[in-house]
A and B are shown apart, each in its own frame.
Chain A
Amino acid sequence: MAAVPQDFLRVVHSAIGAVCPPVLDPTVARMALTETRPETGALDSTVAAAAPTTIDGVLGTGEHKTIGRVYLGGGVIGLIGALVVGVIAVFMSNNLDNLGADQTDMLANLWSLGRDLALFGGLVPIFVGLAIYLVPLQVGAPSLAFARGAAASLWTWMLGTGLLVLAYVLNGGPGGLRKDSVVLWAAALAMMVGALVWAMICISVTVLGARTQGMTLERVPLTTWAFFVFSLVGVLSLPILMGELLLAFLRIRFLHVPIAESASLTTIMDGQYLAPAVYWLGIPVLGMAVDIIGVHSERPAIYHRSIMAAIGVFGILTYGADIVGLASVRTGGVDFDNGFFVGGMIAVIVPVLVTLVLAGQSLRSGVFRLRTALVGVLLAGLLLLLATTVSLLGLIEPIMRLLDDASPGSVDLSQTLILNGTRFHEGIRALLLGSALLAVIGALHHWATKIWGRQLSEPLGLLSLLATAGGSVVWATGEILAGFDDQPWLPARSTDDFSAGLGALGLVGAVVLAVAAVSLGVNMAISLVSSKPAGSSSSPWSGVTLEWATSSPPPVGNFPAPPIVASATPLLDELMFDGEEPTNEISTEGAAASVTQGDTA
């Protein structure tokens, strides 16, 4: 075969170079972690493409930081949308007497849209975005595993979210009256869930297989561990929901569910939205809380493995709840009389309590500073604990029934507090929503420098925290009291004076919570458009995990060379041994030893 003229190759190379600017090393520039590594190359050579700066660059990027940022932004917008829709739904449900038939249908759709968006359009994508951004940095990897797959998941999720909103606008969704739109709702939701599952696989594989040298699984930071558990639970439970949606799609498509009965489809989602299945959102809350408390109190958690175990147990219990909840959907609602279910709901308090107590050790021996990040995760943990504790009230009836089954006639069931099927669960959901949002606000303030290169406004952040905590507690109080008043789930509502008062309380809480989410969005927007203050630090806190061992935001490839760690707190090791003896704790092989640490040192 004739050799290709070198001149021709040079022309082609220069033409390609004009379109695609050269990156660090042309031989490995486009290589992703999934491709075969050069045997002699280190992980840093598997650098993804250069950081995108244009729209087409963002659209085609495989850079985990860009994907994470877009997921974060999209999730925050989705959450704001969900809360605004939720406020309208609560307002309408407080004025049921004045609603016509069309508006009552619209209320059902708004209520459903609000909860779909809050979970799969808001909080889960935010956590996924944070994980995609932070996990590779915390485990010392140059990129995310299957980074292009994660990019595909991002755009699929975004398309699915758009289609979901469109389906609701076109009178779709469960309770919708247009067949095509209801079919579109099922497909769009399945698309969103599938995309998120795929992103979670990428996150899990990064934790399992892309850790740097010395970073054993038990040394991964607790935030990463929590995201790992969160992802595994999602990967193993959400496909069941997708199966349900596939069946719903086919049944509506082939007219086996009369469109007038499409409201029955709401039961598909009930298993996901009720406690304890929705405790799933608490897994990253716990992990981030421990890490952030440790950094800001300047006393990293000392019971690392115990906390890992507690978070793992919490994950297992929420997984069991997911499965039982989804399976019981077949019976037309969540089956609270299942003994395992009741036991799981009681046991779920233990790991939450253990994690918070162990995290509190840092605070007890360290210092407390009024910072948004610290206060945010503290309040998030407390609200999670409050939600898991208050939800026990819902177990009184099932426990009594179980006792009555065991010994018939021993319990007077007519005197039992019955909360299941009432708005009590909406109250628990409001507390969990508040807990997750508080943790998100705290986390974004903590890692803002790492993500955007500049900090978020502290006063605005503290106001957001206040509004989130206050709003969720007020909303939850209204809903829980409405549950005691035996009011059924939204969108149905009683309309006597007492109910109206509780409804107004719920509405005030929901409005305040929505304002808090909007203020978080505004805070992020202000930070993004403002110029970086002169002399601002790239590492404002004394972080001890690997993400603080590189510049903020990190360069393409994250680290100049693969870091080598010897403990769960590699930067603390370096601080302890610096100047006393040669250290290999976070030695990054030569040039990488000069990792930018900012104030850390």
Chain B
Amino acid sequence: MSTDVSSYDPIPVDVAVAEPTRPRLLLQGTSLASAAIVMGFMGLIAVYVAERAEFLAREERWLPDGVSIPLTQPNFMGLTLCLSVITIWWTVQAVRNDDRGHAFVGYLLSLLFAFAFLAQTAYLLTLMELQILVEPRAVLFFAIIGLHMALMVVAMVFAVVMLFRTLGGEYSSRNYEGVLSAALFWTMTVALYGVLWYAIYITK
């Protein structure tokens, strides 16, 4: 049975069908990859917490003899990363405003903060004097801290790629999905540092 719908259809028939909304695939992919990374990282933290609890239950000292974790460096590393979150989101806002100059500055500052974080982490590891070849527990420390450093490097590479794409004109106020994705990944990495900071550097 045919029904005449033209009498109540508010959209004229000659109007073209709307294009589907932008898929935002990169953002979705970054979100899922970030979720996977968070699960893997939290798994390692869970192993760390469980092994530490086993040591403490046996009334043994968790940190090996001669190893100490100073708090100054981890706190400043956290502060550095917090600043980098501000600058990376400043970049997103700049691209949304078609302000490539500020976007460029924001990216450079974020990368500078990240580089400073990596340098501080390397320095902290030397201060800790944890020897992976001698001490089995050191494997856990190096696995977690090393994985986080690797994630930071990935976040930096992601940001650099998006920086070049932004400067090349690919991203603007009409489409800033890549910039947003890089910022999301960056923020996730910083959030993981928060977990690491508490689980390893604070509780020791």
Contacts and interface: CB of A to CB of B under 8 A. Distances in A.
Interface stretch (B35-43, B90-98, B100-108): B35-43
A246 B25 contact: no
A242 interface: yes
Contacts of B51: 330
Given A145-B29, A246-B44, A581-B1, A213 B39 contact: no
Interface in A213-252: 213, 235-240, 242-244, 246-247, 250-251
Contacts of A330: 46-47, 50-51
Interface in B27-75: 28-29, 32-33, 35-37, 39-44, 46-47, 50-51
A50 interface: no
A254 B140 CA distance: 12
A36 B170 contact: yes
A456 interface: no
A243 B136 CA distance: 16
Interface in A250-283: 250-251, 254-256
A204 interface: yes
Contacts of B25: 33-34, 145-146, 205, 209-210
A128 to B, nearest CB: 15
A250 B139 contact: yes
B147 to A, nearest CB: 7
> How would you classify the secondary structure of chain A's contact residues: helix, strand, loop or mixed?
helix
A581 B170 CA distance: 44
A240 B43 contact: yes
A228 to B, nearest CB: 11
By size class, the interface of chain B is 35 or more
B11 interface: no
B39 A240 contact: yes
Contacts of A243: 40-41, 43-44, 47, 143
B29 A236 contact: no
A378 to B, nearest CB: 33
Nearest to A207: B28
Contacts of B50: 330
Task: From B37, B47, B139, B143, name the one whose CB has the most chain A CB atoms within 10 angstroms.
Answer: B139
Contacts of B37: 239
A146 B2 contact: no
> How would you classify the secondary structure of chain B's contact residues: helix, strand, loop or mixed?
helix
A562 B139 contact: no
A236 B39 contact: yes
A201 B33 contact: yes
Interface string A43-54: 100000000000
B133 interface: yes
A56 interface: no
A236 B143 contact: no
Contacts of A499: none
A239 B39 contact: yes
A240 to B, nearest CB: 4
Contact of A36 (B28, B35, B44, B175): B175
Contacts of A236: 35-36, 39
Contact of B20 (A145, A146, A201, A212): A212
Nearest to A247: B143
B23 A210 contact: yes
A235 B19 contact: no
A40 B19 CA distance: 8
A37 interface: yes
Contact of A201 (B17, B36, B170): B36
Contacts of B29: 34, 145-146, 201-202, 205
Contacts of B46: 327, 330
B2 A240 contact: no
A239 B43 CA distance: 8
Interface residues of A, number: 44
Given A146-B25, A327-B46, A330-B47, A201 B40 contact: no
B57 to A, nearest CB: 13
Task: From B29, B41, B143, name the one whose CB has the most chain A CB atoms within 10 angstroms.
Answer: B29
A237 B39 contact: yes
A42 interface: yes
Contact of A256 (B20, B28, B136): B136
A146 B23 CA distance: 12
B3 A562 contact: no
Nearest to A43: B20
Nearest to B170: A36
B119 to A, nearest CB: 23
Contacts of A564: 17
Interface string B109-148: 0000000000000000000000011001001101100010
Given A209-B28, A581-B1, A250 B40 contact: no
Interface of B: 1-3, 17, 19-20, 22-26, 28-29, 32-33, 35-37, 39-44, 46-47, 50-51, 132-133, 136, 139-140, 142-143, 147, 170, 175
Interface of A: 33-34, 36-37, 39-40, 42-43, 145-146, 197, 201-202, 204-205, 208-210, 212-213, 235-240, 242-244, 246-247, 250-251, 254-256, 326-327, 330, 562, 564, 580-581, 589
Interface pairs A-B: 4 shortest CB-CB:
A239-B40, A240-B43, A209-B23, A256-B136
20 contacts: A33-B23, A34-B25, A37-B22, A201-B29, A204-B28, A205-B29, A205-B32, A210-B25, A213-B17, A213-B20, A235-B32, A236-B36, A239-B39, A243-B143, A247-B139, A250-B143, A254-B133, A327-B46, A580-B2, A581-B1
